[in-house]
Amino acid sequence: MPVGPFGIDPAIWAPLRLVIAVLLVVGLVFNGALAQIYLERKIQAVIQDRLGPLHTGPWGLLQTFADAIKLLGKEDIRARLTDKWFFLAAPSIVFSPMLASYVVIPFAPGIVGADLNVGLLYLTTLGSMTVLGIVIAGWASNNKYSLIGGLRSAGQLISYEVPQIVSLVTVVLVVGTLSMVGIAESQPGWQLNFLVLPLAFVTYFIAGLAETNRAPFDLPEAESELVAGFLTEYSGMRWAIFFLAEYGEVTVVSSIVTTLWFGAWHGPFVEVFPLLGVLWFTLKTYFFVLVFMWIRATLPRLRIDQLMSLCWKVLIPLTLTNLVVTATLLLVFPNTVLPVAIANWILLAAFVLVLPYVQRRRLVALRERLRTAA
């Protein structure tokens, strides 16, 4: 009889490994969402000079658990004129691609679901499938606010996919592989991709905010205009599944950022204790989750035309320029990434310094036009 890991027959180990991995990821997503909702409340409270949840448990730690139990116990309500099957299926269509994303995320050396050689492409593919679920949710609810929310979401996600994928391609050009493990291994020590490609990081992060429907891009569920967008008709656990999916997506985008630009599991003492990689990976990922929350508490929501013009007039030309410059420099200097790094930092400086100037010029021109029209 062949003996696999832990002295278990490989024919039994393969399905057992699958079950353990799925249970771990489901646990990770559920507990991650609970922790992130607590963090979100506390951080927004700190930024807005409030106290946040305080009374349930020590420091209000049990507040999200109480909320989760309340959601589980709620009655499952469905309005009569909704489209039954699509209405019931939409939360799962949003949730399952997010869950499947965890297959390729490299938590530590050797701790990864599957080292696909198209790992990054797999992640973008799953990210694009979320649109379908949101459009279905908006349409099946038979509610005009839901429908507008769903269509806004589709327009937003399809537009922001372009700068997102082009930013990822820039990294792939430098690293030379699409495998998440390969990308993680390519940046040991201080050779982080962030130092080489900061502009790609910034554009990907902005597009990632839009991809996860987070503020300032949370137009599909803009509560001041659309009640709750595509979530309007949902309640109880179905509503909660949409939120689990959103927090899971935030974690996935943060993990992609960690892996591509910040060296994934690399950190002190990982060579000695490989399991320590999980700690470094989690800390780096949650740092970016906190940045997501910080941005949400700081920036106001964009208008839909501002959202589209930011994507098509700023981000897409910028990422395409970045891609062409990076590819050319890599062809001219095949042995060093130093020219790429210099070009990227210059482009980033141009982006950060020139954009506010252009916006101010446009605002002045707009005011001038309004004054002459009045």
For residue 74, what are its two tokens? Answer: 């709620």
Q: Does 328 bind other proteins (CB under 8 A)?
A: no
Report how far Cα 161 is from the mean position of its chain's Cα atoms.
12
Report in angstroms how near the CB of residue 310 gets to other proteins at its nearest.
Answer: 20
145 touching other proteins, by CB under 8 A: no
Q: Which residue lies nearer to other proteins by CB, 68 or 129?
A: 129
Q: What's the closest the beta carbon of residue 72 comes to other proteins, in angstroms?
A: 29
Size of the site for other proteins (CB under 8 A): 22
What would you report as the CA-atom Rg of the chain, rounded to the nearest whole angstrom? 22
Residue of the chain from 147, 169, 219, 311 that contacts other proteins (CB under 8 A): 147
Give min distance, CB of 146 to other proteins, in A: 12
Question: In sequence order, what DSSP letters do the residues of 182-233 get, joined into one string?
Answer: HHHHT--TT--HHHH-HHHHHHHHHHHHHHTT-TTS-GGG-HHHHTTGGGTT
Residue 288, CA distances (Å) to 123, 140, 262, 358 in order = 18, 34, 11, 29
Distance CA 217, CA 302 (A): 6
Encoding tokens for residue 353? 């310094």
Which residue in 30, 86, 194, 286 binds other proteins (CB under 8 A)?
Answer: 86
Q: Which is nearer to other proteins, 135 or 347 (CB)?
A: 135
**Is residue 211 a contact residue for other proteins (CB under 8 A)?**
no
If one asks whether residue 230 binds other proteins (CB under 8 A), the answer comes out as: no
* Helix/strand/coil percent split, the chain, to 5: 75, 0, 25
- Is residue 40 involved in binding other proteins (CB under 8 A)? no
Listed residue (119, 122, 170, 188) closest to 320, CA to CA: 170
The reply on whether position 3 binds other proteins by CB under 8 A is: no
Minimum CB–partner distance for residue 188 and other proteins (Å): 24
**Contact region with other proteins (CB under 8 A), list: 111-119, 231-239, 281-289, 298-306:** 111-119
Part in contact with other proteins (CB under 8 A); list of ranges 25-33, 128-136, 198-206, 327-335: 128-136
Contact pick of 28, 151, 237, 278 for other proteins (by CB under 8 A):
151
Under rule CB under 8 A, residue 125 binds other proteins: yes
Give the span between the Cα atoms of 65 and 34, in whole angstroms. Answer: 7
Is 135 an interacting residue with respect to other proteins (CB under 8 A)? yes
Q: How many CA atoms lie within 13 A of 346 on its CB side?
A: 10
Min dist. Cβ of residue 333 to other proteins (A): 20
Q: Per rule CB under 8 A, is residue 129 in the interface with other proteins? A: yes
Any residues with CB less than 8 A from the CB of 344 and at least 6 apart, and which?
A: 196, 197, 198, 199, 200, 322, 325, 326
Does residue 216 have a cis peptide bond before it, meaning omega lies within 30 degrees of 0? yes
Does the protein bind other proteins through residue 142 (CB under 8 A)?
no
E-strand stretches of the chain:
none
**118 or 278: whose CB is closer to other proteins?**
118
Contact call for residue 13 and other proteins (CB under 8 A) = no
Residue 111 sits at φ, ψ, to 5 deg, of -105, 85
Show the DSSP H helices in 262-337 as ranges: 276-298, 304-309, 316-332
Q: Note the residues at the interface with other proteins (CB under 8 A).
A: 11, 86, 116-118, 121-122, 124-125, 128-129, 131-132, 135-136, 139, 147, 151, 154, 158, 161, 178
